[in-house]
Amino acid sequence: MATIGYGYGSEWHLLRWFGYHRSRLNKLIKEETKLDVVEWVDFGFRRRSNTGFPILDLEIEHLNFLPEGHPAKVDWLQTWPVANGQLGRGPCWDGIAKLSSGGWLLVEAKAHLGELESPGSQATPASLGKIKALLDEAKQFYGVASGVSWTKKYYQQANRLAVLWFLNQKHGEKAHLLNICFTGDHFESGASCPKDKEGWSEGIVKMKKALGLSDSLLLDETVKYLFLPVTEA
The structure's pTM equals 0.92
Query: Distance between CA atoms of 104 and 127, rounded to whole angstroms?
Result: 27
121, part of any domain? yes
191, part of any domain? yes
142, part of any domain? yes
- Greater confidence (57 vs 212) lies with 212
State the DSSP string of 104-152.
EEEEEEESSGGGG--PPP---HHHHHHHHHHHHHHHHHHT--TTS-SSS
Which tens digit of pLDDT belongs to each residue from 61-78? 999 999 999 999 999 999
Domain extent for 183 = 10-229
202, part of any domain? yes
Q: So what's the pLDDT on residue 7?
A: 84
> Residue 98: helix, strand or coil by DSSP?
strand
Q: Euclidean distance between the first and final Cα of the chain, in Å?
A: 30
Contact 72, 170 (CB under 8 A): yes
2, part of any domain? no
H/E element, 210: helix 197-210
3, part of any domain? no
94, part of any domain? yes
pLDDT band, residue 55 (cuts 50/70/90): low
Q: So what's the pLDDT on residue 51?
A: 66
Q: So what's the pLDDT on residue 19?
A: 93
Q: So what's the pLDDT on residue 122?
A: 87
Which tens digit of pLDDT belongs to each residue from 112-132? 999 999 988 888 998 999 999
44, part of any domain? yes
Contact 200, 194 (CB under 8 A): yes
Contact 182, 13 (CB under 8 A): yes
The closest alpha carbon to 182, from 28, 14, 19, 35, belongs to 14
Beta bridge partners of 107: 95, 178
User: What is the domain count for the chain?
Assistant: 1
